[in-house]
Structure 1
Amino acid sequence: MTDLTVPQQLIARSNRLGSDPKNTNYAGGNTSAKGTETDPVTGQPVELVWVKGSGGDLGTLKESGLAVLRLDRMRALVDVYPGIDREDEMVAAFDYCLHGKGGAAPSIDTAMHGLVDAAHVDHLHPDSGIAIATAADGPSLTQQVFGDKVVWVPWRRPGFQLGLDIAEIKEKNPQAVGCILGGHGITAWGDTSEEAETNSLWIIDTAAAYIAEHSKAEPFGAPLEGYGALPEAERRAKAAALAGTIRGIASKDAAAAGRSMVGHFTDSSVVLDFLAAAEHPRLAALGTSCPDHFLRTKVKPLVLDLPASASVEDSIARLKELHEEYRADYQGYYDRNATPDSPAIRGADPLIVLVPGVGMFSYGKDKQTARVAGEFYVNAINVMRGAEGLSTYAPIDEAEKFRIEYWALEEAKLQRMPQPKPLAGRIALVTGAAGGIGKATAKKLAGEGAVVVVADLSLEKAEAAAAEIGGADVAIGVAADVSDEAAVQAAVDATVLAFGGVDLVVNNAGLSLSKALLDTTGEDFDLQHRVMAKGSFLVAKATARVMIDQELGGDIIYISSKNSVFAGPNNIAYSATKANQAHQVRLLAAELGAHGIKVNGVNPDGVVQGSGIFASGWGANRAAVYGVEEKDLGKFYAQRTILKKEVLPEHIANAVFVLCGPEMTHTTGLHVPVDAGVAAAFLR
């Protein structure tokens, strides 16, 4: 460790602390280190503080994520601090203390690190520490748990004054290794990086051990009859059936702004046990306390007040009633606390929805945000358990929560966020997506901001293709035999449980048999139709049900073929089923338009590159029909087109994006030829 530079020591410590969820939540907390370097301008030593910048995550922090400030300039701010009423001005002042170039923007907690007289400081959000911080008798508990080694700091909004408060506490309590920040978290310090880390972990582990030893047997109250967890298969089936409606609830305001929320579902024992206990309605209504938590989860969740045995229909009806009550309640919260200079209300829909016996649905602008919101509410449940086990859970009051949620600095951070990609917030399911057109389409949609479910007959190939596209927050692979109704429903259920719903469906799965009429068997004909005509119908039916429940519109796109309108030899089974698919587009466009669902098609021709169909024998057969070498089939197809260009999977993917993108919102029932120009296949 001694061979490492000061910032390297800080990064190593931060990564260790941040990689363990018992220490802090994702992107929560911050760490710092002080040291001396040579000023390149003067050649003289200069004291610096390296501190985790705004928006970073401790577990994955790199040196580029640190803000570096001159300590002399930072401490000089004490003399010009205008007081608590002008607290926000101090964040802008940090920019004038920066040393060198690059690095991250200083966070609101920078003062805590710069002003405390310790070489290394950690500020963390451990569940065990926040449990003490949110207990009604937190000050006395702090004394009982830690003696005089940890000092209680009453709640204060993060900022310069909190830094001054902690600096004063450390000065007056030389025996202390840290403090509990009321309603918020912990701060610890040390003369070395190892000492600061040791002190942080001691506070966290000591609090956890005390809670485990002294907590009452049932912190959340006795079991509530009828609210226990359903059997796994039953609860996941119910979750999938409710997912569309709940996503629509969470997306009402977002949809009005042209966006949708992505979801995450968890049925962990932490959530299910909380919802099975008698006190969960009271505790949920109190909301979360730690600013990191409620900024991601909203101040409180929507909780379905029906037993686990309630039917899906009854649950949906009640969820819609509770949604209206939630919106009215949130509007009241805003109206009670807003001032003339407050930012506009950011939406009154819940980000956390709890369903007894089933689990928790969480939402955000993308999958990662939705998943982290769910993780934060699990943190909140753990905090409530600890606080109730020792005392009474008493989070900060709603006025303070509002000041954090609608803080001008938080609003400025939101305004600095980059503009979302065109398909951000949209959930896509692409069938036959392990290769060729399907894989190119899945990549394109993900590249434009969608989250994608790669469905294929082979689970192994589907998962491999999804891994190429991105991690589980971007794409997942599922097995799907589209000719099997139960398998299709399972794939759709997996989609809605992974991402919250479905908005964009690409019916691409297929196979092709190139045979003359007299050589085509009844089984050949039936197989071709089972996979493409019936398969497309089954996928459209299962996904349209979710889209209708969501009330967010959607897109269904069929990858048809120029053969749906062009008559060629030795192609009766394939071309007839493509014509069937083409008319499904028109039929569904007419039927689903009332729900805002657009249905369109793409008619490719001769996409040889990367095609599983061509590789499985179709290519050899078509090459024989046209009298060319199979390796030259792509070139042959190109030469028979008007543009003399080969059609590639990416060209089909581009057409899919155009049809479901922001520029084609008023088009349905259309077939787009992507064939480089085949006059015989012109649409009439």
Structure 2
Amino acid sequence: MTNPTAAELIARSNRLGSDPRNTNYAGGNTSAKGTDLDPATGEQVELVWVKGSGGDLGTLGTNGLAVLRLDRLKGLVDTYPGVEREDEIVAAFDYCLHGRGGAAPSIDTAMHGLVDAAHVDHLHPDAGIAIATAVDGEELTRTIFGDTVVWVPWRRPGFQLGLDIAEIKEANPQAIGCILGGHGITAWGDTSDECEARSLEIIDTAARYIAEHGKDAPFGAPLEGFAALEDDARRAKAIALAPVIRGLASYDRPMVGHFTDDPVVLDFLASAEHPRLAALGTSCPDHFLRTKVKPMVLDLPADAPVEDAIARLHELHEAYRADYQAYYDAHATADSPAIRGADPAIVLVPGVGMFSFGPNKQTARVAGEFYINAINVMRGAESLSTYTPISDAEKFNIEYWALEEAKLQRMPKPKSHATRVAFVTGAASGIGKAIATRLAAEGACVVIADLDLEKAQAAAAELGTTDVAIGVAANVADPEAVAAAMGEAVLAFGGVDLIVNNAGLSLSKPLLETTEKDWDLQHDVMAKGSFLVSQAAARVMIAQGMGGDVVYIASKNSVFAGPNNIAYSATKADQAHQVRLLAVELGEHGIKVNGINPDGVVRGSGIFAGGWGANRAKTYGIEEEELGKFYAQRTILKREVLPEHVANATAMITGPDMSHTTGLHVPVDAGVAAAFLR
């Protein structure tokens, strides 16, 4: 049973965290003090419940709380070795924990435990950080709040900051909270409701003051030629640039991308001061840990030709990497962790929008959201004063903090297909759906492409949020529809790494009954469709420069001459030879092309359910419900082939253990001797 104090804290946290005006995703932390039973002594003990490391206030649950003995946490004050060695004290938090389970204590635990208040909120509202990053933030705090909110000079989060805030609260009994220089806000109260009300009072007061006293154009005058492009032109340019930018952002290690053309971003980039402000970087630790110290900004007008933009992006990327290396070299010590990569996490393109990157889609999306927070912070600070973030030295001390490195090292090992974007055709059912499901389970972002948009979106929803999978409409026989679907994939995830040509249909007819229309339909969907999808994907993969995989779900019929399926088997043979041809042509770009040859997959197959099964059963003189068993009995292993078996082969051939294999056809037919490859 959840302790009432903890339940109250969770409810407050969820309310505060659900409103982006109060704090960003996974930003800030909240706490409550109370008592609970110590099962070892049978006595009530004083505890502090505090949001644990890495949690999100908006979705916080019981497991996201760290629970500590308050007497032991306060006892650390007597053993605290001083600010030069304060990292050592963080390890002692684990020895203050009460009970089993729960989250790891965060670096801000001391702030919550040492401040003499039953309830404490530490938040990162844009309005509050705007005051915290103004050059005259201390004076602004006095002007806006009088003596009810106290200024705290910048200090890196940790035990000493907790001591500082505790001392400030004690010395200012009239205060309801404080502004933390360069960082955020902290508020406290005797009850949960009072603490929440005070947090909101600080946020609302700051926002209202900025709105009433701020200047009209904090980012300066409009910059000629940098206004947002019209919708269609903006989208087209974003699609053209996204794979190139993703490749640049993945120079050190592969990244997933996210794109937004939020008006906040477009307005910022259309203003004269954006180059100066972007170069200053972000300030709040939660911001720059996800966005890096500053973004890479394309310095060309919005209507610059795509070719010019691409050439300039390559130049800027080289300069960005050199600048980041210089930043690292200037501040690193012998004890610093190794450089984690010099590529940008945020790339801004005037007139188009923002591309953000991370090791998965959620991280990439959140990085973009954080930079929008940073833009809002800069707007607020510039409208009242001058935006002045913390120094690069302080940023480095947090970015390459030993505690931050330890947190990264605790993260689970990436799955086999992490950072990969898979585009699977015909994926709303049958083999395609099984493949999409398996690739998502292996860590890939998945685009489920299908002729039926509603079914594609429903299948994607089964895999999780849009950070995992999206559904798109794709008539693979229509080049414009293929290009549009590929464009949606690129905007959703930054690019494409893995294509599965699975879409198909089957017409089971003898030669004399096969019409020209039958022949064209069969070849348009599978031979032409596979060609069009592979061609569109190859353009993206080559632009990325990250290699890739193209997989054809062919068939044993590509090499086996069965009765009454001239159109189907001929087009499967076409697909099989496309594998060989493209393996040769695309190899120089690091793109592998392989095929999978299943036997008839009856269960779960849309093709068989659509009439092919009845026709094949008639051909073999059996009942349709016996077709799976019939196919199994003609194999060497006497096993029926299911969609999951084809999905297993797809995951294997595109996984890290098959990095040196291309031009291969993998039989998934339980052994059909007549279809052995020679």
TM-score band, normalised by shorter chain: over 0.9
Helix, strand or coil for the counterpart of 2:147?
Answer: helix
Q: Tell me which residue corresponds to 2:615.
A: 621
Is 1:374 matched with 2:368?
yes
Q: Match for residue 81 of structure 1?
A: 80
Measured after TM superposition, the shift of residue 590 of structure 1 is 0.3
What is the rounded CA distance, in whole Å, between the counterparts of 1:405 and 1:93 in structure 2?
Answer: 22
Aligned to 1:429: 423
Q: Which residue of 1 aligns with 2:446?
A: 452
Confirm whether residue 194 of structure 1 aligns to residue 193 of structure 2: yes
User: What's 2:395 paired with?
Assistant: 401
The amino acid that maps onto 1:216 is K
The 3-state SS of whatever aligns with 1:321 is helix
Q: CA offsets, 1:276-309, max 9 Å, x none?
A: 0000000000000000000000000000000000
The equivalent of 1:47 in structure 2 is 46
Any idea what SS the aligned residue of 2:534 has?
Answer: helix
CA distance in 2, matches of 1:194, 1:553: 55
Q: Partner amino acid for 1:492?
A: M
Measured in 1, the distance between the counterparts of 2:372 and 2:219 equals: 14
Aligned to 2:671: 677
Q: What does residue 568 of structure 1 align with?
A: 562
**In structure 2, which of residues 649, 655, 658 is the aligned counterpart of residue 664 of structure 1?**
658
Could you say which residue in structure 1 is the equivalent of 2:357?
A: 363
Match of 2:546 among 545, 552, 577: 552
Counterpart position of 1:416: 410
Which amino acid in 1 is paired with 2:618? A
The answer to whether structure 1 residue 35 and structure 2 residue 34 are counterparts is yes
Distance (whole Å) between structure 1 residues aligned to residue 200 and residue 55 of structure 2 = 21
Q: Residue 440 of structure 1 corresponds to which residue in structure 2?
A: 434
* SS of aligned partner of 1:663: helix
- Which position in structure 1 is the counterpart of 2:314? 320
| Equivalence for 1:295 | 289
Residue 596 of structure 1 corresponds to: 590
Letter paired with 1:154: P
Give 2:57's aligned residue.
58
Q: Which amino acid aligns with 2:526?
A: M
1:495-574 correspondence runs (5 A) = 495-574=489-568
Instruction: Select between 401-410 and 461-470 the one with higher mean Cα deviation.
Output: 461-470
- Per-residue deviation, 1:39: 2.3
Alpha-carbon distance, 1:544 to partner: 0.4
Query: What CA distance in whole angstroms lies between the structure 1 residues aligned with 2:81 and 2:580?
Result: 67
The two structures have a TM-score, normalised by structure 2, of 0.99
Q: Specify the SS of the correspondent of 1:26.
A: coil
Instruction: Pick one of 463, 476, 479 that aligns with 1:485.
Output: 479
Instruction: Give the structure 2 partner of residue 281 of structure 1.
Output: 275
State the alpha-carbon separation in 2 of the partners of residues 161 and 648 from structure 1.
61
Deviation at 1:103, TM superposition (A): 1.4
Question: Is it true that 1:611 corresponds to 2:594 in the alignment?
Answer: no
SS at match of 1:363: strand
Question: Are positions 1:586 and 2:575 aligned together?
Answer: no
Which residue type is aligned with residue 146 of structure 1? Answer: F
Deviation at 1:43, TM superposition (A): 2.7
- Taking the aligned partners of 2:67 and 2:242, their CA distance within structure 1 comes to 45
1:111: Cα distance to partner? 0.5
3-state DSSP of counterpart to 1:542: helix
After superposition, where does 1:89-104 map in structure 2 within 5 Å?
89-104=88-103
Deviations 1:423-461, CA, capped at 9 Å, x for gaps: 000000000000000000000000011010000000000
Question: How far is 1:95 from its partner?
Answer: 1.2
Between 32-41 and 158-167, report the one with greater CA deviation.
32-41
- 1:461 aligned residue: 455
Q: Deviations over 1:178-205 (max 9, x none)?
A: 0000000000000000000000000011
1:232 aligns with 2:226: no
- 2 CA distance for matches of 1:37 and 1:243? 53
Q: CA deviation at 1:42?
A: 2.3
CA distance in 1, matches of 2:586, 2:40: 68
Corresponding residue for 1:11? 10
Q: Which residue of 2 aligns with 1:221?
A: 220
Structure 2: which amino acid aligns with 1:77?
A: L
The C-alpha deviation readout for 1:50-109, integer Å capped at 9, x for no partner, is 111111111111111111111111111111111110010111111111112221111100
The whole-number CA distance in structure 1 between the counterparts of 2:3 and 2:641 is: 55
Residues 568-602 of structure 1: per-residue CA shift (max 9 Å, x gap)? 12111111111110000000000000000000000
Partner of 1:184 in structure 2?
183
Structure 2 portions without partners, runs of 5+: none
| Secondary structure of the corresponding residue to residue 252 of structure 1 | coil
Aligned-partner residue type, residue 675 of structure 2: A
Q: Which amino acid aligns with 2:12?
A: R
Determine helix, strand or coil for the equivalent of 2:146.
Answer: helix
Of 334, 341, 363, which residue of structure 2 is paired with 1:340? 334
CA contact (8 A) 2:3 2:36 kept: no
Distance in 2 (CA, whole Å) between partners of 1:98 and 1:674 is: 53
Q: Could you say which residue in structure 2 is the equivalent of 1:250?
A: 249
How many Å apart are 1:4 and its aligned residue? 7.5
Displacement, 1:44? 2.7
| 2:107 maps to 1:108 | yes
| 2:636 counterpart SS class | coil
Question: Counterparts of 1:477 and 1:459 in 2: how far apart (Å)?
Answer: 7
Q: Does 1:642 align with 2:636?
A: yes
Alpha-carbon distance between aligned partners in 2 of 1:189 and 1:470, rounded to the nearest angstrom: 37
Secondary structure at the counterpart of residue 253 of structure 1: coil
Q: Residue 257 of structure 1 aligns with which residue? A: none
Deviation at 1:270, TM superposition (A): 0.4
> 1:148 aligns to what SS in structure 2?
coil
Letter in 2 for 1:225: E
- Indicate the percent of aligned positions where both proteins have the same amino acid: 79
Structure 1 match to 2:323: 329
Displacement after TM superposition at 1:18 (Å): 0.6
Offset from partner CA, 1:100-138 (integer Å, 9 cap, x none): 222111110000000000000000000000000000110
Runs ≥4 in structure 1, deviation > 4 angstroms? none
For 1:289 and 1:658, the matched residues in 2 are separated by: 44
Q: Distance in 1 between matches of 2:63 and 2:91?
A: 20
Q: Secondary structure at the match of 1:549?
A: helix
Q: Distance in 1 between matches of 2:144 and 2:518?
A: 75
User: Corresponding residue for 2:136?
Assistant: 137
Query: Could you tell me how far apart the structure 1 residues matched to 2:652 and 2:69 are?
Result: 51
CA distance in 1, matches of 2:491, 2:42: 59
Q: CA offset at residue 677 of structure 1?
A: 0.8
Letter in 2 for 1:680: A
Distance (Å, rounded) in 2 between the aligned partners of 1:373 and 1:41: 44
The residue that corresponds to 1:350 in the other structure is 344
Q: Distance in 1 between matches of 2:623 and 2:104?
A: 61
Question: Which deviates further from its counterpart, 526-535 or 70-79?
Answer: 70-79
Q: Secondary structure at the match of 2:499?
A: strand
Residue-by-residue CA offset, 1:200-250 (whole Å, 9 max, x unaligned): 000011111111111111010000011000111111111011111100000
Aligned equivalents of 2:285, 2:657: Cα separation in 1: 39
TM-score (norm 1): 0.98
State the 1:516 CA deviation: 1.1
SS at match of 1:412: helix
Q: CA deviation at 1:46?
A: 1.4
Once the two structures are TM-superposed, the CA of residue 40 in structure 1 deviates from its matched residue by 2.2
